[in-house]
Structure 1
Amino acid sequence: MTIAASTAALGLLLAGCGTNGASSQNGTANTSGSTAANGSNASSTANLSFYFPVGVAGPLAEIMTKMVDQFNQGHPGIHVSPVFSGNYQQTLAKVETAIQGGNPPAVAVLNHVAVYDLIHLQAIEPLDSVVQNGDFYPAFTQPAVQGHVWGAPFQRSTVVLYYNKDAFKKAGLDPSHGPRTWDELVADGQKLQKIGMTGIELPSDGTVYWTFEPFATEAGQNLGGNDGSHVNFNSPAAKKALQFWMDLSHKYHVMPTGIQPWSSAPTDFDSGKVGMILHSSGSLASILKKANFDVGVSFLPKDQNTYLTGLGGGDMYLMKGLPQSQHDAAVKFIEWMTSPEQAAAWSLQTGYIAGTPKAYDQPAMKQFTQEHPQALVAPAQLQYAQPELSTYQLNQVQDVIDSAIQSVLDGQAGVSDALDKAQQQANTILAPYQGAGN
């Protein structure tokens, strides 16, 4: 069974997704499909707006529209209108603006690390019962924040390493696995260079902290604290990790210098220009569809002791203060979207990790993973997943660390100076939130 065939069985298009990019329909509600059917029943229909981030290239808006239409058609008393609102940072900003303007959406898929800002705005309701009944992967629901689980896992991912198995064979490498350590990453990259390929690309534009953080964690410490108000941007671990990234280009010569675009890494990989890339597990479907060689997927290489990776992606959030009819309809929509059946369908079409292990028992998913075992690497890597950087004033704090990393990669600053400055800036931003009563 081909990838296209496995998803065609669901009647939807195949697409890849990740963390950066933009929507072609930013800020516009979709009114296709079942809109007309609901129009005659408007007075008895619970109308919900649903903000959704389009995070990478691919027909994600079309896939989501069809999914929402399917829900609407099966629930005559509810009508959901998706609003495609840009990437995660843009969507969070638009939701915050809508909340402050008194017109929030009923449901939104937002970066799962936006939870502190949303709680501070008193914008969301806990989803403890939904999550308790949903049998989600524990890595996606822990740790609790202020004693609750606030988001239902929907489109979640980890950072994985993609490698060209055909190129590995040509370079005399074992194609059954990718590099298992940082040292092996360098050695494999050097052998790929010898056959005329770039060894590795680590995307570094946009929200680069996401692909960088697992390296810092492997070196000894996460970028974030555990309370939303402290960060570890200038830890010895972060400095070691960033120096390793620089060494890949300037010492070992296995990675291009400068800032590497997120969006071009899969293209460079599919075209055979580069032998290995780090990217979202959510890019798997697109990569498998486009590559004309045998694609390998592996855990992130470890520094010394153990594999580690970061979590990414979005949760579904329920906004506070909805009328009871809308509230109940919104909960039903969230439960339907995160059910094993829909989680399997979404994962098949996008490459995101299904939020619940029960999704992998669905017949279509079983058939797909038998044909494409690469899809099982990211769920298996969840045992090594560490919490992603999550703070108050999330966009500002992310911008600080992203700018620091990029200034180093672009040759504008040294590792230690850039990360020390980032720590100071983040401390200033987070100072009002430190202590009790956040």
Structure 2
Amino acid sequence: MKLLNTKATLPLVLSGMMALTAACGGSNAPASGGQASKGDQKPAAETAKPATPAASSPVKVVWWHSMSGELGKAVDKLVSDFNASQKNVVVEAVFQGTYDESLSKMKASMDAKNGPALIQVYEIGSRFMIDSKAITPVQNFIDKEKYDVSSLEDNILNYYRVDGKLYSMPFNTSNPILYYNKNMFKAAGLDPEKPPTTYEELAAAAKKLTKDGQSGGSFAIYGWFMEQFFANQGAELLNNGNGRTSLATESLLASDAGVKTLTWWKQLVDDKSLVNLGRKTDDTKKAFAAGQVAMTLDSTASLRGIVSSVEGKFDVGTGFLPKPADAKDGGVIVGGASLYVLNNRSEAEQQGAWEFIKFLADSKQQAYWHVNTGYFPITKKAYDEQLVKDNMTKYPQFKTAVDQLHSTKANLATQGAVMGVFPEARQLTETAIEEALNNKKQPKEALEGAANEISNKIGQYNKTVGK
């Protein structure tokens, strides 16, 4: 495969990517790889040799992130703690809006070289970031100092590792779980300690829970959920091993796993056991908190907010993401974002960014991040921190999320799909779900239409980056 010049390629890749992400807009849920390039010579991103900053001259590392509100406050605390912990590096955290907005700004900064040394990018931007040739893989730093990654969560690294290499370091990580109203379960004669685990069990429970103006549940029309339903069945979303054994060229959205899932979802809505509230997860959260729906799907990162919003009104139960009774081994895919080191900054800045990345991965920082945001710790030892133990006692629902992560079977399905047009693919998936739920198309027809469009977009993207 022909290697492309970084400066020549980046504008093409970014312009194509930004056109797609602009069409999608920001993510409607909490933020929610590919094959490494091969050729006769290594890209500039892989030849960088970071140098250790001199203690007498602190290096400034600019970090662009997309964490706002309480998440932003947690980021600021971590940065402050890092800066106070040593004198060689000073990190400046700069909020850049949504993930899409941040990537657009990165594009504009590349030629002027006034961009960050470190950037937070959502998980579905992984293929694009590798193709951009704008990064120094964190594997370079790992190999140079023999940094031990065995302390990190395997199923989280599994997503970001491509051909045995980590291009970025996981930072904020989540997966979807089932939230349910224990009080409504008890009133309907259901065991409040046994949430449904299969499509069939959920349908039966939703039917019993639908009464007196209350609905059995509501799932936001969110492409991330469909991706998760695929993985939970051990089914791949893209051809060529989910785009990991070789570059993806075709969407498998209309395969049996997709048709089975959307048919089940549509039947629940048709039976009025599930109410369709559209694409916004905020709307399903509000309906759940108000006691209008008994079950919903949402990110683990929403757990504290959901539990707090219903405090004193009813007890919140949590369960694994449901799957068909005859599903193959699978599990959940991690959502969220990771941290990339940009290669157009000085070697000292890149090394400074790596020092900060290591600080963030430490168990103490991960414990703080987990407790104050709801995102998973990426470090196993964080669960031994007293802060995390106390939080687990206060919010025992977190154990469901942790158990679900740890019980996930590592395979190409749960490793997650990678493609350069992922943001638009999610939008097309959501459109297909809407068409089926609103009786405009049958599930298979809707998914086939979306799959064809996604496949075409993948082809266009692959041509743009010269693959």
TM-score range, shorter chain: 0.7 to 0.9
Name the amino acid aligned to 2:28.
N
Task: Output the CA distance in 2 between the equivalents of 1:93 and 1:211.
Answer: 26
Give the CA deviation at 1:107: 1.1
Pair 1:317–1:426, CA change in 2 (3 A): same
Task: Report the Cα distance in structure 1 between the residues aligned to 2:276 and 2:395, rounded to whole angstroms.
Answer: 33
**Residue aligning to 2:286:** 267
Alpha carbons 1:199, 1:276 under 8 Å: kept: yes
Specify every segment of 5 or more residues in structure 2 that has no aligned partner in the other structure, as ranges. Answer: 1-25, 32-55
Shift in Å, 1:155: 0.9
Quote the Cα distance in structure 2 between the aligned partners of 1:325 and 1:407. Answer: 52
- Aligned CA distance change for structure 1 residues 62 and 313 (closer, same or farther; 3 Å): same
Q: Is the contact made by 1:162 and 1:278 (CA closer than 8 Å) also made in structure 2? A: yes
User: Structure 1, residues 197-219: CA drift from partner, whole Å, max 9, x if none?
Assistant: 22111111xxx110122223445
Residue 267 of structure 2 aligns with an amino acid whose one-letter code is D
TM-score (norm 2): 0.78
Structure 2: how far apart are the matches of 1:59 and 1:373? 21
Aligned equivalent of 1:237: 257
Which string of whole-angstrom CA distances, capped at 9 and with x for unpartnered residues, describes residues 359-418 of structure 1?
100011112213322112112112226133321133333333233333333444332232
Q: Compute the displacement of 1:258 (Å).
A: 5.5
1:279 lines up with 2:303 in the alignment: no
Return 401-410 or 61-70, whichever deviates more: 401-410
**Equivalence for 2:316:** 295
Aligned-partner Cα distance in 1 for 2:217–2:310: 16
Q: Secondary structure at the match of 1:200?
A: coil
Q: Which runs of 5+ in 1 are unaligned?
A: 1-17, 24-42
Q: Does 1:178 align with 2:195?
A: yes
Tell me which residue corresponds to 2:367. Answer: 344
**Partner amino acid for 1:300?**
L
- In the alignment, what sits opposite 2:447? 419
Q: For residues 255-296 of structure 1, what are the alpha-carbon distances to aligned partners after superposition, in whole Å with 9 as ceiling and x for unaligned?
A: 113524211222222222211110001111111222222211
Q: Does 2:243 align with 1:226?
A: yes
Cα distance in 1 for residues equivalent to 2:434 and 2:63: 33
- Structure 1 pair 352–123 and aligned structure 2 pair: CA distance change class (3 A): same
C-alpha distance in structure 2 between counterparts of 1:409 and 1:86, whole Å: 32
Q: In 1, are the aligned partners of 2:29 and 2:299 still within 8 Å (CA)?
A: no
Structure 1 residues 94 and 236, CA, compared in 2 at 3 Å: closer, same or farther?
Answer: farther
Give distance in 1, aligned partners of 2:168 and 2:28.
21
Q: Which residue of 2 aligns with 1:20?
A: 28
Tell me which amino acid in the other structure corresponds to 2:263: Q
Does the CA-based 8 Å contact 1:140-1:153 persist in structure 2? yes
**Within 2, Cα distance between the matches of 1:218 and 1:333?**
34
Q: Which residue of 2 is the match for residue 50 of structure 1?
A: 63
Task: State whether structure 2 residue 151 is matched by structure 1 residue 135.
Answer: yes
Answering whether residue 380 of structure 2 is matched by residue 353 of structure 1, we say no
Match of 2:184 in 1: 167
Following the alignment from structure 1 to structure 2, what is the Cα–Cα distance between the partners of residues 384 and 190? 29
Change (3 A) 1:190 1:97: farther
Aligned to 1:255: 274
- 2:153 & 2:384 partners in 1: Cα distance? 14
Match of 2:3 in 1: none
Q: Report percent identity of matched pairs.
A: 28
Counting matched residue pairs gives 398
Mapping 1:20-419, distance limit 5 Å: 20=28, 44-54=57-67, 58-99=69-110, 102-128=113-139, 130=142, 132-133=148-149, 135-142=151-158, 144-194=161-211, 196-204=213-221, 208-219=222-233, 221-224=235-238, 225-227=242-244, 228-230=247-249, 231-250=251-270, 252-257=271-276, 259-292=278-311, 293-305=314-326, 308-382=331-405, 383-384=407-408, 386-419=414-447
C-alpha contact (below 8 Å) 2:231/2:416 kept by paired residues: no
AA paired with 1:116?
R
Could you give the per-residue CA deviations for residues 52-110 of structure 1, whole angstroms, max 9, x where no partner exists? 1237xx52222222222222232333222222233333333433443465443211221
Q: TM-score, normalised by structure 1?
A: 0.82
1:339–1:166 Cα change, 3 Å? same
Using a 3 Å threshold, how does the CA distance of structure 1 residues 220 and 66 change in structure 2: closer, same or farther?
closer
Q: Is the 8 A contact 1:136 1:153 kept in 2?
A: no
| AA of the residue aligned to 1:46 | V
| Residue 3 of structure 1: aligned partner | none
Moved more, 267-276 or 424-433: 424-433
For 2:408, give the aligned amino acid. Y
| One-letter amino acid matched to 2:224 | W
1:113–1:388: 8 Å Cα contact kept in structure 2?
no
Q: Does the 8 A contact of 2:214 with 2:293 survive in 1?
A: yes
Which residue matches 1:39? none
Code of the aligned partner of 2:93: P
Contact persistence 2:277–2:284 (CA under 8 A): no
State how far apart, in whole Å, the 1-side matches of 2:125 and 2:83 are.
28
Segment of structure 1 superposing worse, 183-192 or 213-222: 213-222
Q: Which amino acid aligns with 1:20?
A: N
Name the structure 1 match of 2:7.
none
What is the Cα deviation at residue 134 of structure 1? 6.0
8 Å CA contact 1:48–1:79 kept in 2: the answer is yes
Range moving further from structure 2, 216-225 or 350-359: 216-225
